[in-house]
Amino acid sequence: MKRSVEWWDEWFLGMAAYVATASKDPSTHVGCVLARPDKSIASVGFNGFPKGVEDRPEWLNNREEKLKRMVHGELNAILNAHEPVDGYTLYNWPGRSCSRCAVHVIQAGVVRVVSAYDANSPFEQRWKEDMDLGEELFRSADVEVVNFECITDPHALRTHKMIDGAGNEAEVLTLM
């Protein structure tokens, strides 16, 4: 049986949620996956400071200082691809793209953007106006927009302990 588009969208969004766990941003962990038309993965990206720039707590914990230094997950995914991304699909967790990312994603040639969407999340509420503009930009450039309604509470990623074969304890993240 052929898997549906929705099945693949949900699977890739789950992957984007896992990618997000690598972010050191104390407020929002963003994860992105860039998928080729054949469903193989070109790259992943999460939000973080540029390579070589120190993750100083005083910058990470000061919104103004943080925003000046942060590379968003979408742009990191594009830069990490090391190949043209024309015709690819971008998966976004835990919310829609901001307007700056939208212009880069459009310009890179991405044709479809699938985002987790949770109207009640603090992330969506903080960025709503700018995300609305991002969405408007995508639509005006004929990029297909899919907002996948789901709960993006960070606790939806549950951490539990696992003991590996050598008896070592490891933290494991599980998607609900």
Which residues are at the interface with Zn ion (CB under 5 A)?
72, 98, 101
Decide: 108 and 140 in contact? Cβ < 8 Å.
no
Structure tokens at 16: 């984007």
Residue 35 or 105 having the CB closest to Zn ion: 105
Structure tokens at 33: 């996956």
Q: State the burial class of residue 115 (Cβ atoms within 10 Å of its Cβ: 0-12, 13-18, 19+).
A: buried
Nearest approach in angstroms of CB 74 to Zn ion is 6
Residue 41 or 71 having the CB closest to Zn ion: 71
- Chain mean position to CA 170: 24
Residue 101 or 143 having the CB closest to Zn ion: 101
Nearest approach in angstroms of CB 123 to Zn ion is 11
Nearest approach in angstroms of CB 5 to Zn ion is 25
Residue among 83, 53, 82 at smallest CA distance from 70: 53
Residue 113 or 157 having the CB closest to Zn ion: 113
User: Is 124 known to be catalytic?
Assistant: no
Identify the active-site residue in 6, 64, 65, 74: 74
Decide: 26 and 58 in contact? Cβ < 8 Å.
no
Structure tokens at 57: 């707590």
Nearest approach in angstroms of CB 33 to Zn ion is 15
Which residues are known catalytic residues?
74
